[in-house]
Homo-oligomer: A and B are copies of this chain.
């Protein structure tokens, strides 16, 4: 796999520098760390932070800004950031009203974010968190107990970020997030494997006519391989699995993310969206909000994921529609 890189061991550092160069009006980097912080004035509100391994860009640093994250902690490629980096992000983001952490469900992330929380609490900072486990494909994956956290995480950033911007307390935000998580379900499919920088081999290999359903954003195994289907059939497979997770009735309302995994052109994402809408129409389910593009990627992997958010209450859609000043929302 050819990549546009220099020394693979510096790739995250150089990426973060490039991000700052490109968007210095919005974000800053805490020097010599993987922490990207927004440039807005502090106003005493709850700070929202997230992070994890790099390689999923624009997640999470692309969602740092007014109305979403206060800071993102970027680890090495596909590797959790260390507790001391997360602690530093907590301290940098804190505006005095506590820090709320959005954690994707990977064992390394859970361990390190929790350790950082303990350290921050010893310094007198109130910290709470939520774990996102929206990927319904498999239980107990390579790096995960339970279900993986994938593209649905950006909806948590947006809705929880809006609540913080509205001045809600950390207790209210925790309650909001806990209620939100069960309403978000995702599932993906891959056309190709993914190769980490410096590796010579992809994490897995698919044949020229083969796809895999349920692959994770680090190339974790999915639940079935088969020959490539039409976009309509792919959409039907994923959507059926997602809808079965909800106790739906006609005219139920959803927000939908069609998320490219990094190497899939926008043209294919729009074709797939057209199929998703037809399938939702057939089920008499309403889509009140769409987000289509590359949001939670896996380096250059070709494929996509589909996320449904059940719009259980009006606050969700109000939050999704609120303006933000981020690079990538």
Contact = CB atoms under 8 A, between A and B. Distances in A.
Interface of A: 2-6, 11, 14-19, 21-23, 54-55, 57-58, 62, 191-192, 208-209, 211, 228, 230-232, 234, 258, 262-275, 277, 287, 290-292, 294, 297, 299-300, 302, 304
Nearest to A230: B6
A230 B54 CA distance: 20
A318 to B, nearest CB: 15
Contacts of A234: 4
A255 to B, nearest CB: 12
B290 A5 contact: no
A262 B265 contact: yes
Nearest to A21: B277
Contact of A231 (B5, B262, B273): B5
Contacts of A18: 269-274, 277, 292
A317 B23 CA distance: 15
B209 A2 contact: yes
Contacts of A208: 2
Nearest to A24: B290
B230 A265 contact: no
25 contacts: A2-B192, A2-B211, A4-B191, A4-B268, A4-B272, A5-B268, A6-B230, A6-B232, A6-B275, A11-B271, A15-B274, A16-B270, A17-B270, A18-B277, A18-B292, A21-B274, A22-B292, A55-B267, A57-B270, A58-B266, A262-B265, A264-B300, A265-B297, A266-B297, A300-B302
Contacts of A297: 265-266
Given A264-B4, A265-B263, A300-B263, A14 B57 contact: no
Contacts of A292: 18, 22
A-B CB proximity, top 6 nearest: A18-B270, A18-B273, A18-B274, A57-B266, A4-B268, A22-B290
